[in-house]
Amino acid sequence: MKKLIVVVPCYNEEEVLRETTKRMADKFENLIKNKKITKNSQVMYVNDGSKDKTWELILELSEKHDFVTGVCLSRNRGHQNALLAGLDVARRHADIVISMDADLQDDINAIDEMIEKSNEDYEIVYAVRNNRKKDSWFKRTTAEAFYKFMKFMGVEVVFNHADYRLTSKRVLDELFKYNEVNLFLRGIFPLIGFKNTVVYYERNERFAGVSKYPLKKMLSFAWNGITSFSVKPIKMILNLGIIILLISILVILYALIVRFTGYTVDGWTFIVCSIWFLAGVQMIAIGLIGEYVGKIYSEAKQRPRYVIEYNLIDDKRK
């Protein structure tokens, strides 16, 4: 049997944590009874600088339940950093670690199959949605476009997989050799390699509260993933530059022909449109290159990705 820690990032999740803990208690009891995990397995809630009473509730639940522990970050650092902080603490105390969201949209019954796959020597088990029937048309279309676009841009991701996965301690040790500040964990885990597989589950409706990933955040998340793992956008700028150069040669030839044939064209509209078009292309190119330069700047400073203020799992061991 292996010790399991389930890492759950939390940001303003006071409405759902009691129910999450209740369901996890039933799941852990069943897993321990069937001798799939050890009795000292735990759920670790990671408070990502919540503005509500999430941390106070985590403290309350940890006092009430032995299997509940928590980590509190000094300020809000975003989902990916909160998850990374939890994984860092968990890998020191567990054999296998599962990451999932607090909102109960991830079906906890998939944990059984994930553990079975781990016992078959799989180092990474990705939990993948089997369908998106419960999503709105807009959400389904944009989500599928996100994965296809990421693949087109050269970023290796598992289709319809978020951050619900099982990883071994060995994988997490390798993960923390990646020191980049601009995190996109969905792209890093496939890079690590090792024997991996997928399990499928049906995603539920959010139990309570509101989504912490509106469209604006999702677009920012996708852009961060692309610019962190692919230089294809810069190559596309080069290709666009070559195309514009070829078009400009044709335009020059056309201008010379009409000039020598004595046909004079006013050309004001053409010139103005050309100037605005080329100026727009140049601004996009400069902005895109600036995005990469900015990421280099962030990486070069090597600032901590998160600061842990409280760590209950280690405090309880003292």
> What pLDDT is stored for residue 318 in this prediction?
42
Identify whether residues 185 and 285 lie together within a single domain. no
Query: Is 127 a member of any domain?
Result: yes
pTM above 0.75, yes or no: no
Identify whether residues 281 and 168 lie together within a single domain. no
Query: CA-CA distance, 259 to 238, in Å (whole number)?
Result: 31
> What pLDDT is stored for residue 193 in this prediction?
82
Identify whether residues 195 and 256 lie together within a single domain. no
Query: Is 124 a member of any domain?
Result: yes
Identify whether residues 157 and 295 lie together within a single domain. no
Identify whether residues 149 and 287 lie together within a single domain. no
Query: Is 223 a member of any domain?
Result: no
Query: Is 186 a member of any domain?
Result: yes
Q: Which residues fall within 8 angstroms of residue 202, CB to CB, at 6 or more apart? A: 107, 129, 130, 131
Q: Into how many domains does the chain fold?
A: 2
Angle 232-260/215-229 helices, nearest 10 degrees?
Answer: 90
Identify whether residues 283 and 311 lie together within a single domain. no
> What pLDDT is stored for residue 184 in this prediction?
74
> What pLDDT is stored for residue 230 in this prediction?
62
Identify whether residues 197 and 239 lie together within a single domain. no
Identify whether residues 147 and 286 lie together within a single domain. no
CB 130 within 8 A of CB 222: no
Query: CA-CA distance, 208 to 199, in Å (whole number)?
Result: 25
Query: Is 152 a member of any domain?
Result: yes
Query: Is 163 a member of any domain?
Result: yes
> What pLDDT is stored for residue 214 in this prediction?
56
Identify whether residues 121 and 171 lie together within a single domain. yes
Q: Can you give the CATH number for the domain in which 84 is found?
A: 3.90.550.10
CB 37 within 8 A of CB 2: yes
Domain that holds residue 207: 4-213+305-315
Query: Is 218 a member of any domain?
Result: no
Identify whether residues 202 and 186 lie together within a single domain. yes
> What pLDDT is stored for residue 87 in this prediction?
92
Identify whether residues 134 and 185 lie together within a single domain. yes
What string of DSSP letters covers 249-314? HHHHHHHHHHHHTT-----HHHHHHHHHHHHHHHHHHHHHHHHHHHHHHHHHHT--S--EEEEHHH
Please give the order of strands across the beta sheet that includes 4-10: 196-201, 124-129, 161-168, 96-99, 4-10, 42-47, 68-73, 308-311
Identify whether residues 263 and 310 lie together within a single domain. no
pLDDT along the chain (318 residues), means of 10: 92 89 91 90 92 92 91 88 90 91 85 90 88 65 70 70 87 86 77 87 63 59 62 69 70 67 61 68 73 68 78 70
Query: Is 260 a member of any domain?
Result: yes
